[in-house]
Amino acid sequence: MNSSKPKVLQILSDKTLLGHVLTQAQKLCSKVHVVYGFGGDQVRQTINDDSINWVEQVQQLGTGHAVQQAMPSINDDSISLVLYGDVPLIEQSTLNDLITQAQHSGVALLSVVLGNPTGYGRIIRQNNQVQAIVEQKDASDTQLEICEVNTGIMAVDSGLLKTYLNGLDSNNAQGELYLTDIIEMAVSDGKTIASVITDNEFEVAGVNDKIQLAELERTFQQNQATQFMQQGLMLKDPARFDCRGSLSFGQDCEIDVNVVIEGEVTLGDNTTIAPNCVIKNTIIGSNVSILPNSVIEDAVIGNGASIGPFARIRPEANIGENAKIGNFVEVKKSTIGKGSKVSHLSYVGDTTMGSDVNIGAGVITCNYDGANKHQTTIEDGAFIGSDTQLIAPITIGKNATIGAGSTITKDVADAQLSLSRSKQTTLKNWQRPTKK
């Protein structure tokens, strides 16, 4: 992977590769065991889940040897489901089928038919019954023509699995203990091997380099976009949409190109998101317009609000019903009341703003004194003229007016006009200097 991080810690969508696998495993299994080798300490620190039984494989002697390390902690009367940390998109329904088959037969494997099976172990069948799995390096020319391949994923009766693992040897081209050899052992023991053949190559695709990771990311995003559209979301171009988290939405929502969703995002009815927006961990109401190139994080956007273009809504911002946050406006840790407008080129931080407030262009709430943050309160109906600085802590009363170009350092009472401009001076007969 050419990375300082182990392969299983590479990110796909919003999770590590291993994180995706663990999500599915923890839905199905009473106990999850992770066998680790290279970079194991980094993996454990990143995943940081005390419910997992972490087992170190000190020597990497093959897949069979890896599974052997976990078996002392597993009860004989259970089903062991073997998954791989770099195969992240396996689906729960497929695993359920596999477990059900194993409960009846004792051994069940997951296979897939590939147009190009190079590099994969081939499934050997006789009279349609699985007889063995032959690895690429050990396969004959005839066996190499087989396109049904082993995914490595299997479910096995744990008591049987322990028995077969103890009988493995390393008499093969790799000199390793192959987990796949237990299939032939089970057949020799008179067992019928159940198999589940998946139709979706992507769900059993592994990752070995950044190219494969990017390909799997695109496949994942495309499938996710398709599901959203089937549920009623309008995506202008599903190939240019990324959801790296979870998205819920009402009716008649529309998302334009190059929008990135992160964390948990909720959209009400009739909400539109224009191109090039990033939205993270945010609740957005109904009839909201998010205009181009806006970034919204950890915020709440009320019904009928308008955001952007080029707006930045930072954590703990609450934008009220029918409020407007315009171009090049930043809002941080502030409440913007119903119908209030901050239309251009302003910074609003640590502020409680009432309803129907009008903030002119270039207004700044000066909330930081170099050591501590301070609160600004702007009450209902206030009008703040352009190019004004409000030095917190400060309160602007109801229906108060602040003249443009003012620096306000003291509270302003209800319905009063306050301004602090220097008096305009005009010098008659003044001449501009000329260049020498």
- Residues marked as catalytic: 344
CA 67 to chain centre: 30
Contact by Cβ (8 Å): 228, 255: no
The 3-state secondary structure of 132-182 reads EEECHHHCCHHHHCCCEEEEEEEEEEHHHHHHHHHCCCCCCCCCCCCCCHH
Contact by Cβ (8 Å): 17, 86: yes
Q: What is the DSSP string of 62-106?
A: -HHHHHHHHGGGS-TTSEEEE--TT-TT--HHHHHHHHHHHHHHS
- Spatial neighbors of 414 by CB under 8 A, at least 6 apart, are 379, 397, 398, 399, 400
Tokens in use for 310? Answer: 């080029």
Strands 107-113 and 234-235: unpaired
- Spatial neighbors of 270 by CB under 8 A, at least 6 apart, are 250, 251, 252, 253, 286, 287
How many Å from the N-terminal Cα to the C-terminal Cα in the chain? Answer: 64
- Please tell me the distance from the alpha carbon of residue 317 to that of residue 310, in angstroms, as a whole number: 16
Q: Is 206 helix (H, G, I), strand (E, B) or coil?
A: coil
How many C-alpha atoms does 200 have within 13 Å on its Cβ side? 14
Tokens in use for 180? Answer: 């796949």
| Radius of gyration over every alpha carbon of the chain, rounded to an integer in angstroms | 31
Residues belonging to the chain: 436
- Among 26, 40, 41, 12, CA closest to 81: 26
Helices (H) and strands (E) counted in the chain, each on its own, are 8, 37
Helix (H) or strand (E) segment spanning residue 188 = helix 181-188
Contact by Cβ (8 Å): 146, 124: yes
